[in-house]
Amino acid sequence: GSEELCKIASAYTGIPVRRMYFQDLDVREQYDGIWACSSILHLEKTELRSVLKKMADALRPDGWIYTSFKYGEYEGMRNGRYFTDFTWS
């Protein structure tokens, strides 16, 4: 993530925007929603369960998580970045 984009988003929305690794998320019931579009697909499968748990813990009751993955069964480096693809929802 870009620190500059966080500044722009914060100025536009009037809401503090933080740049961080999902693995470092350590809050409880703080967010109504988490938007993780095309982002956690760059984690290894072994990390996904703990990151999704951290995200769920960070949500207020009835909160929502949005995430997306590429369709397929590939896991590994592709075009210089790590990808975990899925065929199920």
Residue 88's pLDDT is 77
**For residue 42, is it left (φ>0), alpha (ψ between -120 and 50) or beta?**
alpha
Residue 18's pLDDT is 85
| Cα–Cα distance for residue pair 41/82, rounded to 1 Å | 8
Given a contact cutoff of 8 angstroms between Cβ atoms, the answer to whether 39 and 5 are in contact is no
Given a contact cutoff of 8 angstroms between Cβ atoms, the answer to whether 29 and 55 are in contact is no
Residue 2's pLDDT is 87
Amino acid at 41: L
> pLDDT means per 10 residues in the chain (89 residues)?
90 92 95 92 96 98 96 96 89
